Chain A
Amino acid sequence: MSDPLLTPQSPALPPRRRPFFLRRGPMEAVAVTVIGLGFLMLFQPFALVLYTYSLVTLLAGTFMFMIVSKFPE
């Protein structure tokens, strides 16, 4: 879009895309990853520390998902 050759030729430019952290698609993917991570932490048999912090991770992911899924595309 910043290309000087292209901008004058296209008068009806599409509106600028929102920044990454305000778009629904990628942020939902991030939230889902956090939830999945928390879920694996809750059920993994390797370290008690991970189990201890699983609830915080799950809550963070879930709340993030609730907020982020209201964002526009």
Chain B
Amino acid sequence: MHADRRGLQTATRPLACRTGAPFSLTKSDAAVTISNPSLADKAAEAAARATPDGVVVRVRALSDRAIAWLFIAPTIVLLLAINIFPLFWAIYLSFTNFRANRPNAEVKNVGLGNYSRVLNDPDIWASMQTTAHFVFWTILLQTVIGFALAYLIDRKFRGHAFWTTLILIPMMLSPAVVGNFWRFLYEPQIGLFAYAVSFLTGIPTSDIQMLGSVNLAPWAIIIVDTWMWTPYVMLICLAGLRSIPDYIYEAAEVDRASNWRQFWSITVPMALPFIMLAVLFRGIENFKMFDMVNLLTGGGPGSTTEVASITLKRDAFEAWATGRSSAFAIVLFVAVFGLANIYVKALNRVKQR
């Protein structure tokens, strides 16, 4: 019966195509043919004959390609409307003196004036260094700790699933919650963090002003970000470690490679694409870090924790210098875009190995 059905499908396929609904018609056809093939055959033929020639041509024009475009069109339209258009609009605004709080003022073209101001401003330069400090240390700490945790969890000891879940909890919290939560933990008088440090070191709690001190505040935000996002790096590294087949280790055992050698010659190279992926994700995310730092310190004390995105927000929505802040945003965009280019190239090279 199976062979019969297939034969009939191929027979009716051209007819069905002519009637314009290839898939539904052949399917229902097949269902009917099991009981009475000749009747369905006749029906299909009749339907094909009844279809006017004009319709046949029109429906046939909808190729696979056209259907694919039809499906992705809504996404592309949305992407153009809320991603691509604002990007080009920001490029346009960065050459003008437009101010969003004065929509009726005359918009003048100032050429490269905004860019020269942004790129000669010592305050913006300082915020770039704050960002660099934050990104460098968070990525370093998160990668090292995250990989170490993944390596330990991968030993598959008793209850490792439980510990994985426990470690993943910080990642599941909202950054707004984490910011508020750690502001309380960092309180010198009532905070748990100050209490614990003072318990261990003997320094009085009133001296441990993590968010109030100029020297400690940049490290306070690094600690919080590391606490929150190390599990994420760990998860990606764990996926990488799990993907290394066991037989490679067995072969290394046969060759009497030491654990140290196995780690550096097998584990690290094979997990490297995953580590780089984690670094890429965290790098981009921390480059534009705003919410958590804004809640923790708001850029203070002074402007010691004012990362680039906070400076940008202050320029755009407190000083209302829309044109200048657009230029700043474009500078950041170019930096991230260039970095992503380097990164994709490096990732491809690692994958090829």
Contact = CB atoms under 8 A, between A and B. Distances in A.
Interface SS majority for chain B: helix
B131 A36 contact: no
B209 interface: no
Contact of A65 (B120, B128, B341): B341
Interface stretch (A4-12, A13-21, A38-46): A38-46
Contacts of A36: 342
B281 interface: no
B74 interface: no
B266 interface: no
Interface residues of A, number: 21
Nearest to B338: A35
B339 A35 contact: yes
Given A43-B132, A55-B119, A55-B331, A48 B125 contact: yes
A59 B132 CA distance: 19
Contacts of A38: 335, 338
Contacts of B122: 48
Given A32-B342, A48-B120, A55-B115, A62 B334 contact: yes
Interface in B100-154: 115, 119-120, 122, 125, 128-129, 131-132
Interface in B72-122: 115, 119-120, 122
Contacts, number: 49
A35 B342 contact: yes
Interface string B218-236: 0000000000000000000
A65 to B, nearest CB: 5
A62 B119 contact: no
Interface string A45-73: 10010011111001101100100000000
B238 to A, nearest CB: 30
B337 interface: yes
B338 A39 contact: yes
Interface string A21-40: 00000001001100110110
A58 B129 contact: no
Contact of B120 (A39, A45, A52, A59): A52
B334 A59 contact: yes
A62 B337 contact: yes
B338 A61 contact: yes
B114 to A, nearest CB: 12
A51 B337 CA distance: 17
A62 to B, nearest CB: 5
A31 B128 CA distance: 23
Contact of A58 (B125, B131, B334): B334
B119 A52 contact: yes
B158 interface: no
Contact of B338 (A48, A51, A53, A58): A58
Contacts of B155: none
B178 to A, nearest CB: 26
Given A43-B131, A48-B125, 19 more contacts: A31-B341, A32-B345, A35-B339, A42-B331, A43-B132, A45-B132, A48-B120, A48-B122, A52-B119, A53-B119, A54-B119, A55-B115, A55-B119, A55-B334, A58-B334, A58-B338, A61-B338, A62-B341, A65-B341
Interface of A: 28, 31-32, 35-36, 38-39, 42-43, 45, 48, 51-55, 58-59, 61-62, 65
30 contacts: A28-B345, A31-B341, A32-B341, A32-B342, A32-B345, A35-B338, A35-B341, A38-B335, A39-B335, A39-B339, A42-B331, A42-B335, A43-B128, A48-B120, A48-B122, A48-B125, A52-B119, A53-B119, A54-B119, A55-B115, A55-B119, A55-B334, A58-B334, A58-B335, A58-B338, A59-B334, A61-B338, A62-B338, A62-B341, A65-B341
Shortest beta-carbon contacts, A-B, top 9: A43-B132, A35-B338, A52-B119, A62-B338, A45-B129, A58-B338, A51-B125, A58-B334, A65-B341
